[in-house]
Structure 1
Amino acid sequence: MSFQKLDQLGHKLEALEHALAILGADEATHMAVGGGEKRAEAMSSLAGMLHAQATAPEIGDWIAAEAEQLGEEQQAAVRELRRQYTNLTCLPVEFVERQTVARMRSEQLWRSLRARNDWAGFLPALEGVMALVREEAALRADALGLAPYDALMEQYDPGNRAADITPVFAELKAFLKDFLPRALAAQETRLARHPLKPLSGSYAVDRQRELGLAMMAAVGFDLTHGSLSVSHHPFCGGVPTDVRITTRYKTSDFLSALMGVLHETGHALYEQNLPKAWSHWPLGKARGMAVHESQSLFVEKQIGRNPAFWRWALPVVERHLGEAWSLDDILPHVHHVERGLIRVDADEVTYPLHVILRYELEQELVSGRLEVADLPEAWDARMRDYLDLSTIDNPADGPMQDVHWPSAAFGYFPSYTLGAMMAAQQWAALTREHPSADDDLAKGDFSSINGWRRDRIWSQGSRWSTPELLERATGEKLNASYFTEHLRKRYGG
């Protein structure tokens, strides 16, 4: 009987989640500027209702009383609901309110002060957020029986533990510090032999949009259950039956928007192919941020930057943009490597170093080994070591560059690089089973690639923890060698 009550509750929660997701996507794309205040009120009320219903005390009783003979899938559904309920109820309401106010204030300050490169002005706000993050980590650790930093990571990637991730990241970091100078030298040699053909820089937005839609449909996006819009920052939002993806266009560069579209399509394919029968239970949701990122990076990097893909894509680009490219001319743009200060602009080779730097620093911040006031020096030291660049007089492009820390999102950063590594490991497992994957790409045939991903990842929802899902899909635990081999093959000269 209690399973039935939980099932009914799930439908109510799903309806509120649906409304919030669509209102949020609309706010970022179509809402008139003057609509902000009332939209914030409406979303705040709905979020309050959702939280109150999802944390109601009787849910704990229903979960505890669940003694009926449940099937394996129902047991998995209750298990995942219990995990979510514990995570939602382990923070006192008074704490959540304090943290929400501090976080919103800090984010607003960050927006104005980052533009002015004003670290001193921002420092007190970030110190306030950090004190609350340490408090949150202790509360969660206590409720979950985990180490404080692991308890924060658990919110984004259930099952991930620093003890497992740190050695894998250490191996990757050692490889990248040695490999990056060699990849840059190989790139220079290639460009000396075959100079870069510049982009023409005249790409009308409507033509780029049509190209994006054609690519989305070809890769497997269901246009009857999703759409493409424009926003300041590309994202994938909405709900599985109505996925909203966005990009932003530069008329000077068609690759920027196209890669953004492919990345967000990767997220969307995951959402559109989750188990529909369980959509109103946590079991039917995407597993977590690293798995989600592995799906978007799979489409953007394993497929979208694969030379085989471009054999098929170049005629499609020519049809839409009226510009003919050879494989030798386009690949230097698609595979460009460059040291830079900004994580979101980084390429496949340098990006993980940006993430590992943040992963190391935030563990020190959470544990109290590093104070916020000392962050610019600590950041600069690692930036010099990993990328041979300095940010000491430029905190805006150093510890102030991301919104994550001002908004109290600690434990999130590792997901990005874990996603890239998982994508490479999934591609390796897939190509062992389907040796013709590259030939399929060259023909624009994504069916067996998507079939493998549907079976191993998408249809599994949240049945397994992040590490279990990867191991079941690929036959082994997270292994850095697939990603390093992928980089060596693509960028090593």
Structure 2
Amino acid sequence: MSERNSTAAYEALKARFERLSALYGAQAVLHWDRATMMPEGGAGARAEQQAVISLIAHETLTAPEVAELLVAAREADGLDEWSRANLAEMARVHAHATATPSSLVTRLSRQKSHTEMVWRKARAVNDYASLAPELDKLIALVREQAAAKADAFGLSHYDALLDGYDPGRRSADIDVLFAELETFLPGLLQEVMEHQAAGPERLPLEGPFPVTQQEKLGREVMDLIGFDFAHGRLDVSLHPFSGGVPDDSRITTRYDEADFTESLMAVIHETGHSLYERGLPAEWRSQPVGRSRGMTIHESQSLLFEMQAARTEGFIRFLAPRLKAAFGGEGPAWAPENILRHYRKVEPGFIRVQADEVSYPLHVMLRYRLERAMIAGELTAADLPAAWNEGMESLLGIRPPDDAAGCMQDIHWPSGSFGYFPTYTLGALAAAQLFEAAKREHGGLEAALGQGDFQPLLGFVRTHVHGKGASRTPDEIISEATGSPLGTAAFKAHIEARYLDN
């Protein structure tokens, strides 16, 4: 085939993926609407809309001519580095799509929407019995998808799902990293708790903390970090999340008038996700290479801002007087040192999104083990609560009082996201490495955070992470940005320095 025809094939692919990008954006906004503001009675209609959009996107991607265009475009010699990376990513996305039959795409979309809505009701009243049968139906469909992808890619069922969230990642890689964490983390957790118990008392922060003030403070901090309100918004949902598209970012959080600390850090966490999307290369946003590079990188960005930066002593000292003013605080409880103790409290708890950064990986390890068992057909939804409770007791030494604080707490499984959970801890490892590298590159980074200035940190990730889009593998991005492959050493050093060296 001539170079001219090969180049034309590549341009035809770009046009098709630009249309797909608009469909994916519509899906993202519809998901946000469903979770935040739409009436309950319209859930069925919205689920059908979501299913139709999913089917249209799938058929657009898997049409026979796409395979023909991919073959033809590979002959093009005049493509630059980004275009070659884009073509490779087109092929990867196409392979994932063609491995899943159209009928399964529709059934999965409908069941995901339905199970998620059942979960929202069931969690609110601690009624796992109503969720279990719907979750079993969803798991069966996810296993069907996993089997189809496993056959197409020559992977295990779980790895086939994992690859959709973190391209190139395998459970064997995760097993090595998690085994390393397990050699030191339980002992380190105990050591940190003993160290904190021997230190100054953590004085209670007396509420109530009005939601209006929490929201106002959250918006101020988002603006400080670099969130663009001309291209995004903050709302409320049962589970904090971020979504939308780079030019239309949607963030949600939840509020507790007895404790402002959770919602503020959730806002910072989701802002990290949004900044990543907003920082993706603008000239490639409608193309696969211009998308985010998997969930390990995505979670590294949220945790970089929430855990690494926003909990530094300098930033908390900057934040403390603003907290005091926002909530009318008085007395020694509102001193920066005491507020820092609240944000660095280490204590095993039931809820993952409220967990401290020392015990958090143990929450993820539990979910990783359980979802692998469910995908392998070794664990049913009916048996999940008992397995969950036993795992919590084994890993964290606590047992949930009910299923709402146990296996029903997360939205991931009811929405069909199997293979996502391990990326939270992989992201934490990556965030520690990235923060260490950013401090090496910008010697005054922590001093800047003490002035409320996030620009040095944001500039570092804009260059070394955001601007790379999907042109590299997740591990290549981490290695190039930090000088080392993904590992546990930086995370261990960070925990020891933050919680024991004081």
Identical counterparts, % of pairs? 44
- The residue that corresponds to 1:165 in the other structure is 174
Q: Is the 8 A contact 1:173 1:356 kept in 2?
A: no
Q: Residues 368, 24 of structure 1: CA spacing in aligned structure 2 closer, same or farther, 3 A cutoff?
A: closer
Please tell me the residue identity of whatever aligns with 2:355. A
| Structure 1 residue 261 corresponds to structure 2 residue 267 | yes
- The residue that corresponds to 1:7 in the other structure is 14
Q: Counterparts in 2 of 1:329-478, with a 5 A limit?
A: 329-370=338-379, 374-391=383-400, 394-478=402-486
Any gaps of 5 or more consecutive residues in structure 1?
A: none
Please tell me the residue identity of whatever aligns with 2:176. P
Q: Could you tell me how far apart the structure 2 residues matched to 1:43 and 1:126 are?
A: 19
Please tell me the residue identity of whatever aligns with 2:450. A
Q: Counterparts in 2 of 1:126-141, with a 5 A limit?
A: 126-141=135-150
After TM superposition, the score normalised by the length of structure 2 is: 0.90
Q: What is the aligned counterpart of 2:82 among 67, 73, 82? A: 73
CA displacement, residues 52-88 of structure 1 (integer Å, 9 cap, x when unaligned): 2222221111111102221111010010011011111
Q: Residues 73, 12 of structure 1: CA spacing in aligned structure 2 closer, same or farther, 3 A cutoff?
A: same
- The residue that corresponds to 1:317 in the other structure is 323
CA displacement, residues 371-399 of structure 1 (integer Å, 9 cap, x when unaligned): 655544443433222111235x8455444
- The residue that corresponds to 2:32 in the other structure is 25
Q: Which one is further off, 273-282 or 3-12?
A: 3-12
Deviation of the 1:105 alpha carbon? 5.0
- The residue that corresponds to 1:52 in the other structure is 59
Q: Residues 240, 257 of structure 1: CA spacing in aligned structure 2 closer, same or farther, 3 A cutoff?
A: same
Q: What is the aligned counterpart of 2:304 among 298, 308, 311? A: 298
Q: Counterparts in 2 of 1:52-201, with a 5 A limit?
A: 52-66=59-73, 67-68=75-76, 69-113=78-122, 123-190=132-199, 194-201=200-207
Q: Secondary structure at the match of 2:244?
A: strand
Q: Secondary structure at the match of 1:228?
A: strand
- The residue that corresponds to 1:209 in the other structure is 215
Q: Which one is further off, 325-334 or 95-104?
A: 95-104
- The residue that corresponds to 2:492 in the other structure is 484
Q: Which one is further off, 134-143 or 425-434?
A: 134-143
Q: Residues 488, 284 of structure 1: CA spacing in aligned structure 2 closer, same or farther, 3 A cutoff?
A: same
Aligned length: 489
Any gaps of 5 or more consecutive residues in structure 2?
A: 1-7
Q: Which one is further off, 45-54 or 363-372?
A: 363-372
Q: Could you tell me how far apart the structure 2 residues matched to 1:369 and 1:45 are?
A: 33
Q: Could you tell me how far apart the structure 2 residues matched to 1:188 and 1:20 are?
A: 48
| Structure 1 residue 244 corresponds to structure 2 residue 250 | yes
Q: Is the 8 A contact 1:199 1:252 kept in 2?
A: no
Deviation of the 1:354 alpha carbon? 1.0
Deviation of the 1:206 alpha carbon? 3.0
CA displacement, residues 438-473 of structure 1 (integer Å, 9 cap, x when unaligned): 111112222221111111100011111222221121
Deviation of the 1:413 alpha carbon? 0.9
Q: Could you tell me how far apart the structure 2 residues matched to 1:98 and 1:236 are?
A: 25
Deviation of the 1:292 alpha carbon? 0.9
Deviation of the 1:422 alpha carbon? 0.9
Q: Could you tell me how far apart the structure 1 residues matched to 2:318 and 2:130 are?
A: 52
After TM superposition, the score normalised by the length of structure 1 is: 0.91
Q: Could you tell me how far apart the structure 2 residues matched to 1:42 and 1:130 are?
A: 22
Q: Secondary structure at the match of 2:251?
A: strand
Please tell me the residue identity of whatever aligns with 1:423. A
